[in-house]
A and B are shown apart, each in its own frame.
Chain A
Amino acid sequence: MGIVDTAARPAIGGGLRLQWEPAQEAHVLLYPEGMVKLNQSAAAILTRCDGMRTVADIVADLERAYSTAGLSPDVCAFIALAVERTWLELRP
């Protein structure tokens, strides 16, 4: 764990759903009989995990959106963790 292939295409795991909840003013990840409220960076990453974009695309996109550089290690670490928790699945 901890290492992600930057060419992989992450997608929200089967049976889970990501949505914006106005009442909580946050994105939440919904899964059977439970949910997690996401902080802003987690939401920024997960909303880009659409099964089309690669990890590298997501990093580039985030760096553009937040006008910064060097996000790759943090994004990869988060994606690895999310895969471990089955929030995300990696597609080739």
Chain B
Amino acid sequence: MSGQCAMDAERPGPPLWLLLELTYRCPLHCVFCYNPIDFGSVGRELETGEWLRVLEEARVLGSVQLGLSGGEPLVRDDLETIVAAAHRLGFYTNLITSGVGLTEPRLQALKEAGLDHIQLSFQDSTRRMNDFLSSTRSFELKSRVAALIKKYRYPMVLNVVLHRLNIDHVEEILRMAERMGADYVELANTQYYGWAWRNRAQLLPSRAQLRRAQDATARFRERVGPRMRIFFVVPDYFETRPKPCMSGLGRVFLSIAPDGVALPCQSARMLPGLLFPSVREASLRSIWYDSPAFNRYRGEGWMKEPCRSCPERGRDFGGCRCQAYLLTGDAADTDPVCGLSPHHHLVTEAVERAERSAAEAPLAEPMAFRDYRGGTARD
């Protein structure tokens, strides 16, 4: 698997997008968390100085958009230091947070450090989701954070992850977003990696649910007009063409895991046979341009049929490698979301199973909440 593959590819451009997953620690336990299942066993987090070095090296390479996420990035008490350094280097800084821990003194310090943008993710567990929708404590927390975000003159950008257990509440979610004064709302359907993959059977919505949610969104859009922009991201299991995942692995996106492992996509760590180097051992330049792991899925040399001879391959890059691996066991296969894939039935069958189980008993199987023991906590 290793070695110099994909050398038909011309030299890639710079990693314009840099994502730092500062920590896997998080006070929440989302059922759809995209962190790896075994995140409890990932090595020691990078120290402040190591993150600053990553920022410097990335900026020299040409990175300019910076995402700071996790886990919950506010768990790191050096977040302000990291933002300040990034700002000084010329990054456009985006904080992706659940809002837990975003107090006024910290927001003020982040603003002063030069933070450009905040995305408040409504990433919450099902239990809390119900709390939330019945307007209890977590609603108060989010509202308080939303008010702070406005006070410090950031646009209020809300990201809500949808799945079977909350998709029927889209209208309430949008009403709540309106009450919070949201400028943008992204209703993003769960992507099935990490914890969400483990919980897929319980999280995949039915077609009827999806349609209802889209209708509700359209009605809401009509009522509020342009004052609140709403994006609805359809789960790709319901499509017949894959998404151009990461605009192609190793083309623009570079992610650094809490322990310093460099990845072409946050979930790529699960791909077998690839040794992703750590920023503790190698320079970012050599990792991006020369490491076999980053070169493995560049270009088209790795592709199998039907992608290899498909006219779409330059546009969608054959879809998502992680999804191909999870569904077929071979990361070089065509993404089974594609209707041309010989494995497409794996996707349609999963959707059909979801239809049946949603109709029978919504929570027939136990669900694993993200935790440090690999998911032993059950609802």
A positions within 8 Å CB-CB of B: 14-15, 17, 19, 21-24, 28, 30-35
Question: Which residues on B sit within 8 Å (CB–CB) of A24?
Answer: 14, 16, 62
Distance of A8 Cα from B82 Cα, bound (Å): 38
Contact across chains for B61 and A23 when beta carbons are under 8 A apart = yes
Quick one: given A15-B154, A15-B155, A24-B14, are A33 and B94 in contact (CB under 8 Å)?
A: yes
Distance of A17 Cα from B115 Cα, bound (Å): 12
Q: Which residue in chain A gives the minimum CB-CB distance to B184?
A: A32
- Say how far A90's CB is from chain B's closest CB, in angstroms: 18
Contact across chains for A30 and B64 when beta carbons are under 8 A apart = yes
Contact across chains for A19 and B155 when beta carbons are under 8 A apart = no
- Say how far A78's CB is from chain B's closest CB, in angstroms: 22
Interface-central residue, B62, B116, B154, by most chain A CB under 10 Å: B116
Asked whether B119 is an interface residue with its Cβ less than 8 Å from the other chain, the reply is: yes
Question: Which residues on B sit within 8 Å (CB–CB) of A31?
Answer: 92
B positions within 8 Å CB-CB of A: 14, 16, 61-62, 64-65, 67, 90, 92, 94, 116-117, 119, 153-155, 157
Q: Which residue in chain B gives the minimum CB-CB distance to A20?
A: B90
Question: Which residues on B sit within 8 Å (CB–CB) of A28?
Answer: 64
Distance of A34 Cα from B231 Cα, bound (Å): 15
Question: Which residues on A sit within 8 Å (CB–CB) of B14?
Answer: 23-24
Contact across chains for A19 and B90 when beta carbons are under 8 A apart = yes
Q: A15-B116, A22-B62, A32-B117 are in contact. List 15 more A-B contacts (CB 8 A).
A: A15-B117, A15-B155, A17-B116, A21-B62, A23-B61, A23-B64, A28-B64, A32-B116, A32-B155, A32-B157, A33-B65, A33-B94, A33-B117, A35-B16, A35-B64
Could you show 19 A-B contacts with beta carbons less than 8 Å apart? A15-B116, A19-B90, A21-B62, A24-B62, A30-B64, A30-B65, A30-B92, A30-B116, A31-B92, A32-B117, A32-B119, A32-B155, A32-B157, A33-B65, A33-B94, A33-B117, A34-B65, A35-B64, A35-B92
Distance of A19 Cα from B117 Cα, bound (Å): 17
